[in-house]
Amino acid sequence: MSLDPTTLLAIVGMAIGTYLTRINGLVLVRRFPLRGRLAAGLEAVPGAILIAVIAPTVLATGIAETVAALVTVLMARRLPTLVAIIGGVGCVVLLRALSAGR
Amino acid sequence: MGAALSPHLGRFGVGHKATAMGLLADEVWALAVRRAGERPLTPAYYAGLALPLWVMWVSTTTAGALIGDGIEDPARFGFDFAFAAIFLCLLVGLWQGARRSALPLAVAAATALVAHWTIPDVWYVFLGGLAGAITGALQPTADHAAANPDTDRDDVG
């Protein structure tokens, strides 16, 4: 592994940029009263971002990923999180092996 | 992420907030929001959540960068899917019932998918999140959201 100065500079720059956007979120929200529809919209943000990040993986990669995602959700409702994650990963490995074997 | 967490940081001083934002990773943020739904978020809980995760994150990423070349195909072990599985578990924790959560999540997922197919790079994350937030604000149940102190007061009066 080698470290290129340009890469290092890019990482440091991204770190500063990311930190500024996070502080910005706090500062901006303090200027607006949070209630009604604005609060409801803000409340929907965490779930919406999470599902947006994984939507292509879960819905547009293949049948193995989609089925494994369903299994993960069903497990997560009843079992500890770690069990559900391991179960989901195991499920995707199994289904990929099955679909590759055909 | 900071904006969505902000209503729950009432017990945080300025120094706490500045540090908390620096340690804010996706998973830390999701678990903190989930905790805030159950009871008030304290700086101590946040530190106990974020510090071990940060140490693990940096140390295992370093290890991955150093030895990762030895693993030819991460997909063979399903490592690539672990990320999606973690997010799915976080989503189950954030679920607030079909009436409030179903529509924003469905719109966010559909928007992200369409954006993923039509626009290069990772704009689909931003567009999906934005569409979900707008849906959350505009859907009929938004008026009666628990986060709305004004309607609560009207009910009492």
* pLDDT tens digit sequence for B82-99: 889 999 998 998 888 888
Which residue is closest to A92 within chain B, CA to CA? B78
The residue among B16, B3, B68, B91 whose CA lies nearest residue A30 is: B3
Q: Give mean pLDDT, residues B60-68.
A: 83
How many Cβ atoms are within 10 Å of B124's Cβ, its own excluded?
23
Q: What is the pLDDT of residues A46-94, one digit of tens each?
A: 889 999 999 998 998 889 999 999 999 999 999 998 899 999 999 999 9
Single-letter amino acid code for the residue at B128: G
Give chain B's end-to-end CA distance (angstroms, integer): 35
Which residue is closest to B69 within chain A, CA to CA? A1
The chain-wide mean pLDDT, for chain A, equals: 85
Burial class from Cβ neighbours inside 10 Å (0-12, 13-18, 19+) for residue B147 reads: middle
CA distance A100 to A90: 15
**Amino acid A52: pLDDT:** 93
* Chain B residues within 8 A of A55 when measuring between CB atoms: 108-109, 112-113, 116, 124, 128
A29, A55, A88 ranked by CB distance to B109: nearest:
A55
| Contact call for residues B133 and A45 (beta carbons, < 8 A) | yes
B89 contacts A81? CB cut-off 8 A = yes
* Chain A residues within 8 A of B136 when measuring between CB atoms: 40-41, 43-45, 48
CA distance B18 to B12: 9
The DSSP-derived string for A69-83 is HHHHHHHHHHS-HHH
Contact of A102 with chain B, judged by CB distance below 8 Å, is answered with no
Tokens of A37: 């529809």
The count of C-alpha atoms lying within 13 angstroms of the C-alpha of B8, restricted to the half-sphere facing its C-beta, is 26
Place of tokens 């998973």: B27
